[in-house]
Amino acid sequence: MISIDTVSGHKKKPISVVAIGAGNRMRTYMHYVEQHPDLVQLVAIVERDAIRRNAMATRFAITRQNIYKDYEDFFQRPVSADAVLICTPDDEHYRPCMMALERGYHVLLEKPIAQTIEQCEDIARVAQEKSLIVCVCHVMRYHPCFIKIKELIDGGTLGRLISINHIERVGLDRATHSYVRGIWNRAETSNPMVLAKCCHDVDFLLWITKGRCRKISSFGGLRWFRQDNAPAGSAERCVHCQVEPSCPYSAVNLYLERHDWISNFDVPDGKTLDDVIRQELKDGRLGRCVFHCDNNVVDQQAVMMEMEDGVTISLSMDIFTQQDNRQISIRLTNGEIESDEQKVKVTYFRERRQETFDFSGVISQPYHGGADLKIMEEFVQAIRGSRHHLPSAISDSVESHRICFEAERSRLAGRTIELN
Ligand SMILES: NC(=O)c1ccc[n+]([C@@H]2O[C@H](COP(=O)([O-])OP(=O)(O)OC[C@H]3O[C@@H](n4cnc5c(N)ncnc54)[C@H](O)[C@@H]3O)[C@@H](O)[C@H]2O)c1
């Protein structure tokens, strides 16, 4: 199929992409591919898990020789394509991304970029040397509510920025699923939680302040989800636990009764979803008691930042919340902005006037309020040459990662870090 480039007016073929890691995130990006066959085509799949690999291969009619079990195998005998999409776990970002850049592919890279700041800088450097695009999936930059906040600040009517209080309400269900029982529960195999969960928030804060951080302090730790807090009568697994019926962290309640956080349960032929959930509760990692896991990432963390222009920022990562959303309070010289991701309320001091922008319709839309599909759209357009600067290019994203690594260093060292 041939499409017309809207900027140059030239006919262009759809760009070709390779999917590396066909889990949750990739399935989301594939909705864009499905909806826009005139702009982008999936030409190969790389996935370790047979059920996921086969499901995606069938969905996109991928030929057998273009289906791979591992990215090592793919880069040994690569197919020709414009870009690779990397949605593997956190400890498998750096290597496939560097291999892709060395071989000349543009990259859509899930966050976090990599596991050390040096690795992040390596990726940014090679991308620049080779003039290749690396788009980091910082969804907040593509979300209408956060874009509105940035527009309000940039507009200038509210005056100069003074301070920001930003709360990332992670939510108990997300936290127990991902950071206590799940694959993000150990810093060495994934990342410190402030990077894994808050690199989006820090990226957003740098984006709206347009500044650099000069001092950073952080506090926090793993206080609750530990063996020594296990209640009397608890067991290694929720299915054997005497206190499960009243436990707010019960895996039986989360997965089997409420059917929440189940998008990663693959259902093989001949089984039902509940069969798979029951099996996981019996012997999988997600059936474990939250007090008897191998987790070592924090369950609370606060970060204080002082920017070069004097703006102060407090960022709090709160796990013990029912809802998962962000609460942002921004103080400027002529007014203030309050947002909970649903609404943006602006107060103008002199006029004593309030204005509200309502995004509650957007927030209920799938794929992070549509922001995930917007990332794909911008990435595809950037490769097709109709966008010059991506909202979340690697060159912008490395700084947010640096701040998160430094926040963790401050927390562990118990001191304020001065950044040069
Ligand atoms: N941008 C966001 O808002 C956002 C949200 C959630 C997760 N993420 C990030 O996206 C990434 C993927 O998360 P997910 O939830 O999709 O995880 P997932 O576990 O659902 O998917 C990862 C997939 O990668 C596959 N895989 C692992 N090693 C592989 C290899 N060597 N070769 C090929 N495939 C391999 C796994 O089998 C799995 O199917 C993570 O880094 C995560 O931190 C980003």
Ligand 1 pocket check for 174: Cβ under 6 Å: no
Confidence band for 387, pLDDT divided at 50, 70 and 90: low
Ligand 1 pocket check for 30: Cβ under 6 Å: no
Report the chain's terminal Cα–Cα distance, integer Å: 51
Residues 338, 322, single domain; the answer is: yes
Residues 196, 332, single domain; the answer is: yes
Ligand 1 pocket check for 263: Cβ under 6 Å: no
411 and 301 in contact (C-beta within 8 Å)? yes
| pLDDT given for residue 395 in this prediction | 85
Share of the chain above pLDDT 90, in %: 90
Please state at what angle helix 24-35 crosses helix 50-59, rounded to 10 degrees: 10
Please state at what angle helix 394-413 crosses helix 193-209, rounded to 10 degrees: 120
Give the ligand 1 atom nearest the CA of 368: 3
For the chain, the average pLDDT equals 94
Residues 252, 395, single domain; the answer is: no
Residues 122, 271, single domain; the answer is: no
Ligand 1 pocket check for 89: Cβ under 6 Å: yes
Of 104, 122, 138, which residue sits at a domain end? 138
Of 264, 287, 310, which residue sits at a domain end? 287
Mode of pairing for the β-strands spanning 11-12 and 40-46: unpaired
Structural domain that includes position 401: 140-225+295-418
Which stretches within 284-359 are classed as H helix? Answer: none
Q: 26 CA distance to ligand 1 centroid (A)? A: 8
Residue nearest to atom 18 of ligand 1 (CA): 23
Residues 246, 265, single domain; the answer is: yes
Mode of pairing for the β-strands spanning 353-358 and 343-348: antiparallel
Give the ligand 1 atom nearest the CA of 70: 32
Ligand 1 pocket check for 148: Cβ under 6 Å: no
Q: 403 CA distance to ligand 1 centroid (A)? A: 23
Residues 104, 18, single domain; the answer is: yes
Give the ligand 1 atom nearest the CA of 88: 24
Residues 413, 364, single domain; the answer is: yes
Q: 62 CA distance to ligand 1 centroid (A)? A: 20
Q: 47 CA distance to ligand 1 centroid (A)? A: 10
Ligand 1 pocket check for 111: Cβ under 6 Å: yes
Confidence band for 388, pLDDT divided at 50, 70 and 90: low
Ligand 1 pocket check for 48: Cβ under 6 Å: yes
Residues 174, 319, single domain; the answer is: yes
pTM as predicted: 0.94
Of 287, 311, 327, which residue sits at a domain end? 287
Question: pLDDT digits over 209-230, tens only?
Answer: 999 999 999 999 999 999 999 9
State the CATH number of the domain containing residue 123. 3.40.50.720
Residues 316, 202, single domain; the answer is: yes
Q: Which of 20, 25, 138, 204 to mutate to test the pocket of ligand 1 (most atoms within 8 A of CB)?
A: 25
Q: Which residues lie below 8 Å from residue 341, measured CB to CB, with a gap of 6+?
A: 145, 325, 326, 359, 363
Give the ligand 1 atom nearest the CA of 196: 43
State the CATH number of the domain containing residue 153. 3.30.360.10
Question: pLDDT digits over 135-182, tens only?
Answer: 999 999 999 999 999 999 999 999 999 999 999 999 999 999 999 999
Number of folded domains in the chain? 3
pLDDT at 10 over 70: no
| pLDDT given for residue 123 in this prediction | 98
Q: 111 CA distance to ligand 1 centroid (A)? A: 10
Residues 204, 340, single domain; the answer is: yes
Question: pLDDT digits over 264-322, tens only?
Answer: 899 999 999 999 999 999 999 999 999 999 999 999 999 999 999 999 999 999 999 99
89 preceded by cis ω (within 30°)?
A: no
Residues 20, 92, single domain; the answer is: yes
Q: 87 CA distance to ligand 1 centroid (A)? A: 4
Ligand 1 pocket check for 71: Cβ under 6 Å: yes
Q: Which residues lie below 8 Å from residue 9, measured CB to CB, with a gap of 6+?
A: none
Question: pLDDT digits over 181-198, tens only?
Answer: 999 999 998 999 999 999
Ligand 1 pocket check for 238: Cβ under 6 Å: no
Residues 189, 314, single domain; the answer is: yes
